[in-house]
Structure formats: C-alpha cells, structure tokens
Structure 1
Amino acid sequence: MSYEEKGTWLYLVVAIAGYSFYLSWVLPEVLAGTPVADVDYVAPMLWAIGGAIVVTIIGRILVEIVFPSESTKGDVRDREIDRLGTRVGSSFIVIGALGALVLSMLEADWFWIANVIYLCFVLAALLESITRLVAYRKGVPTW
C-alpha cells in the first residue's frame, strides 16, 4: 500500500470518528428537546475539527513508523487519483455552501447553518476518500 493510500484510509477513519464524536456530544441535547438556539454546538464542533487535524497528523506519523512506506513521493498515478478524489469531493463543498446560503436567506438559526456546512465537509471527505480508494483498487477511469 502506497504512502498516499495509507493517508487516504486515515483521512476516511478520522472523518468518521470526528463527526461521530461531534454528534455524540450535540445530538443528545437536540433529542432531549433543547431549542437549537440554546444548544452548545460551537465548542464541540471546534474540538471535533481541531482534534481531527491533530489526530490525522499524529496518525500519519504513527502509521509510517509502524508500516513504513518505501517512498513518500507520489507518482503520476497518485497525482491522478488525488485530482479525481478532489474533484468528486468538492461537489459536497459546493452543496454545503449553497445549503448555507439558502438557510441564511431563510434566516435559519446559526446552528443549522453551521451544521449543514460541517456535514457537507464530512460528506466531502468521505466521498473523496472512497473515490480515491476505489481508484487505487480499480484504476483511474479514462473518460
């Protein structure tokens, strides 16, 4: 497994774990009937995002210590897979921006705007990672 593929697996796992952490912190308040204007979502969201960044950095280092790669330099195939994954994942960034724009025009609570953006970031990370992992296994499509 290449250095880039290992990083993609780590990115996928951390995205899922970080969002799960966030949901486990915020969702009980929402389900308990707390008005969304009173839900403390900012600190958990910042902890989830910041924690994901730190865990990804430390995880990348640990993965390379335990399972060292022959090279950390990507080849042409790695660059093509990276471009494909980025193009596919970017669609959810756009969807999140449009969703936040519509919610702000409807004067929705900040809770919903922030959560739509965060959800779309997570979905973009998942879609990007899955696209890259499929491309590593099946090859880059030549449309």
Structure 2
Amino acid sequence: MTFTERYTWAGLAISLATFVGYWSVVVARAVTDGLPLVDVAWRGPMLWSLVLGGGLYAVVMPALWLRGRGEALTDVRDQEIERYAETAGARIVGLAVPAALVVLALDVPPFWTATVLFTGSFLGALTSTGVALVAYRRGL
C-alpha cells in the first residue's frame, strides 16, 4: 500500500468519524430535548466537528509521512488516481453550492443552508475517496 493510499484511508476514517459524530450529537439533542432539528443547538457541534476533523487530519498526515520515510510518497499512478478522484468529488460539491443558494433564496433557517453545505462537502469527499480507493484496487 502506497503512502497516498494510506493517506486516503486515513482521510476516509476521519471524515466518517467527524460526520457521524456531528449527526449523532445533533440527533441526540433533538430526541432528548424534543425539538425539531432546526431548533437544536447545532452550531457548536458543527464547528467542533470541523476543528477536530481538521486537527486529526493535521496530526495523522505527518505521522503517516514519518512512518513512510525512505519510500516514494507518490508516483505517476497516484497522481492520475488523485486527479480522477478529485474530479468526481468536485462534481458533488459543485451541486451542493447551487443547492445552498436555492435554500438561501427560499429564506429557510440557517440550519438547512449549513446542512446542505456540510453534507455536500462530506459527500464530495466521500465520493472522491471512494473513487480513489476503487482505482487503487481495480485500476483506472
């Protein structure tokens, strides 16, 4: 397994943990407080999930890099897979942006705009990661 593939797996784990953690907190608050999702205190959990996810990513990347000292970090195949995967993920994120603009234009609560952007970004990253991991296993 190359450095880039290990890095991709780590990113997938961090993304899933962050996204599931955020939604677990928000849904638990909605259920325990008997509130609709719009009225739940969602801003703090979202900010914390972004900060903790980014922090974990910042710790894991150097750790993986240090572990792989002496080996080639990327090659032509890695670069081609990364370009292909990023294109797939960018398409999903590209759909989330106009969807968020529509939500804003409909003047709905900010929760829904943030949710569209947060979920769209997650789905874009998930798509990119999935495409990359499939490409590592089966080839382009």
Mapped to 2, the partners of 1:84 and 1:37 lie a distance apart of 37
1:68 equivalent in structure 2: 68
1:128 equivalent in structure 2: 128
Q: Where in structure 1 are there 5+ consecutive unaligned residues? A: none
Runs of 4+ more than 6 Å apart: none
Mapped to 1, the partners of 2:30 and 2:125 lie a distance apart of 25
One-letter code of the match for 2:22?
Answer: Y
Residues 37 and 136 of structure 1, relative CA distance in 2, 3 Å threshold = closer
Residue pair 1:36, 1:109 contacting (<8 A) in 2 also: no
Residue pair 1:5, 1:136 contacting (<8 A) in 2 also: yes
Mapped to 1, the partners of 2:38 and 2:132 lie a distance apart of 38
Residue pair 2:27, 2:37 contacting (<8 A) in 1 also: no
Mapped to 1, the partners of 2:93 and 2:120 lie a distance apart of 6
1:34 equivalent in structure 2: 35
Give the fraction of aligned pairs with identical amino acids, expressed as a percent: 31
Mapped to 2, the partners of 1:57 and 1:76 lie a distance apart of 25
Mapped to 2, the partners of 1:77 and 1:37 lie a distance apart of 45
Cα shift at 1:37: 4.6
What count of residue pairs does the alignment treat as equivalent?
A: 138
Residue pair 2:8, 2:129 contacting (<8 A) in 1 also: yes
Q: What is the alpha-carbon root mean square deviation over aligned residues? A: 1.6
Structure 2 length as normaliser, TM-score? 0.89
**1:108 alignment partner, SS class:** coil
Deviations 1:60-117 (A, max 9, x none): 233345x536122x21111111110100001111121121111111111100110111
Cα shift at 1:36: 4.3
Alignment of 1:2-13 (within 5 A): 2-13=2-13
Alignment of 1:1-143 (within 5 A): 1-31=1-31, 32-65=33-66, 67-68=67-68, 70-72=71-73, 74-140=74-140
**1:20 alignment partner, SS class:** helix
One-letter code of the match for 2:109?
Answer: D
Cα shift at 1:138: 1.2
One-letter code of the match for 1:43?
Answer: G
Structure 1 length as normaliser, TM-score? 0.88
